[in-house]
Amino acid sequence: MTAKRNEVTRGKENLVISKEKLMPTINLVTEIPGPKSKAIVSRREAATPKGAAKATGIAVAHAKGAAVTDVDGNTFLDFAGGIGMLAVGHCPPTVVEAIKNTAENMIHPGAIVTSFEPMVELCEMLNSIAHIDGPKKSILMNSGAEAVETAVNIARSYTKRPSIIVFEGAYHGRTNLTLTMTSKYALFKKGFAPFAPEVYRLPFPNVYRKPASMTEEQFVDYSIGQLENAMIAQVDPSSVAAIVIEPVQGEGGFIPTPPKFLKRIRELCTEHGIVMIADEIQCGMGRTGKLFAVEHYGIKPDLTTVAKSMGAGMPISAVIGKAEIMDAPHPGGLGGTYSGNPLACVAAIEAIKIINTPEFLKRATEVGERMKTHLLAMKQEDDAVGDVRGLGPMLIIEFVKDKNAKTPMATEDILKVTGEALKRGLIVLRAGLYTNCIRLLPPLNMTDEQVDEGMKVLAEAVRVAMPKREVVAGD
């Protein structure tokens, strides 16, 4: 791969990167996608419905750390991370070993039928680390959507109330209830109505898209006013079981909730006996540089949902919450056939052991800072980059047609960028309410060289794929 430029500005210092240094991971030996990948993808398309979308045309043979190798022998740098489920990277040795050892003794006796130590140990671990006040209990599920729906059921059982408040831009899952709670109609919800009742969607304070006439503080205050007014105009707080919010919106575009807004939600929940549910499916488990994203805010929810990186790639999720609230549903009201699978449990135990260390979280923060340096350089030099945002290493880049008007770049242009990145050996994903963003979800323990490698490829893909825009001299 050739690059137009091999220098990235970082404040007053320059990171000069040679081609040799910049390619510690990526190794391309065929066209992308290669012939073997094309054959497998063709079989997939014949065997599976078109609604089951795929972001790339490659077929994976094996993966390790931040690297993915396809069936044609091409090695890619993975900045998608299974949509954020691989904070510890692909196939961490301790996770793999734990799965192997457990599989020799049991695969799934069924948590509804029996008890087994991996399930109990994981719940004990989650209770001990959760950023929640008082005695805690946990329930294990299989997916983020299951965890969110279970959390809502628990809140409804505890409060004896029907209504749920969610926010524009949120993504909570694809079950009927969680799809109702989810925004982005055309991509996720089109053709699937009718949806669940008693779900109220309120505006979310996306500071980047505030009115030009308002300061950030004024906009947040205005958004708080909308929230408070909604409890008069749309739904009475006495009927609200839960307010469900992502501390950092994921699919919505990696938008951190303004601290004052999240604090006010906590206050309203306490005042009106509403259960505050923090959906940390994507932003939790070290993704923001802290174990839980709410730790950045100094507030504590009543229930927290976790999944994705908790399982290091295994299908597992959890609801963690105050014991009093968690105990509200009747015996038999919670659970599922595959919930608490011991293979997934031991994977989660080992993944949390890795994530919940000062060394890992420090490294995650360093990775985020290094990525952000590159992204801010891209923003400075390229008029197509409207915003760079996120919390810690959970970062996104938003593309616009005009920086002043903030008109979203067309989805097809974003797909051109992700396509060009893939051709050069980098896997990235789109995101955002307008699908005009590229989100970065790499393993959080990757090397500096891998960070620089991925960022250089992304910058090159943007230069090649984006439509006409102004660029800094020397590009």
Give the tens place of pLDDT for each residue, 42-79: 999 999 999 998 999 999 999 999 999 999 999 999 99
Q: Is the pLDDT of residue 228 over 80?
A: yes
> Each residue of 291-349: pLDDT tens digit?
999 999 999 999 999 999 999 999 999 999 999 999 999 999 999 999 999 999 999 99
pLDDT value of position 17: 34
Tens-digit pLDDT profile for residues 386-434: 999 999 999 999 999 999 999 999 999 999 999 999 999 999 999 999 9
Residue 469: what pLDDT? 54
pTM reported for the whole predicted model: 0.93
Could you please report the per-residue DSSP string of 272-307?
HTPEEEEE-TTTTTTTTSSSSGGGGTT---SEEEE-
Q: What is the pLDDT of residue 466?
A: 86
Backbone angles phi, psi at 447, to 5 degrees: -80, 160
Give the residue among 282, 219, 280 at the shortest CA–CA distance from 431.
Answer: 282
Indicate the DSSP class of residue 392: T
The DSSP call for residue 258 is P
Residue 51 contacts residue 45 (beta carbons within 8 Å): no
Instruction: Give, in degrees to the nearest 5, the angle at Cα 38 between 35 and 41.
Output: 155
Which pLDDT does position 23 carry in this prediction?
Answer: 64
**So what's the pLDDT on residue 310?**
98
Interatomic CA distance for residues 415 and 429, integer angstroms = 9
Residue 194: pLDDT above 60?
A: yes
pLDDT at 16: 34
The residue that leads in pLDDT, 139 or 20, is: 139
Question: Directed axis angle between helix 358-381 and helix 448-465, to 10°?
Answer: 30
Given a cut of 80, is residue 19 above it in pLDDT? no
Determine the average pLDDT of the residues in 77-89: 97
DSSP secondary structure code for residue 23 in this structure: -
pLDDT value, residue 354: 98
Kindly report, residue by residue over 126-155, the tens digit of the pLDDT.
Answer: 999 999 999 999 999 999 999 999 999 999
Cβ-contact 201, 234 below 8 angstroms: no
Do residues 86 and 443 touch, judged by C-beta distance below 8 A?
A: yes
**Please, what is the average pLDDT of the chain?**
93
* pLDDT in the model for residue 3: 36
pLDDT-derived band at 468, boundaries 50, 70, 90: low
Three-state SS for 27-95 is ECCCCCCCHHHHHHHHHHHHHCCCCCCCCCCCCEEEEEECEEEECCCCEEEECCHHHHCCCCCECCHHH
Q: Could you give the CA distance from residue 64 to residue 102 in angstroms, rounded to a whole number? A: 21
Q: With a cut of 80, say whether residue 12 has pLDDT above it.
A: no
Percent of the chain with pLDDT over 70: 93
pLDDT value of position 467: 74
Q: Looking at this protein, which amino acid is placed at residue 1?
A: M
CB atoms within 10 A of CB 134: 11
Helix orientation angle between 411-423 and 448-465, rounded to the nearest 10 degrees: 130
pLDDT tens profile 196-215: 999 999 999 999 999 999 99
pLDDT band at 186; cut points 50, 70, 90: confident
pLDDT tens by residue, 237-294: 999 999 999 999 999 999 999 999 999 999 999 999 999 999 999 999 999 999 999 9
pLDDT above 90 covers what percent of the chain?
91
Classify 114-355 by CATH class: alpha beta
Q: Tell me, what amino acid is at 146?
A: E
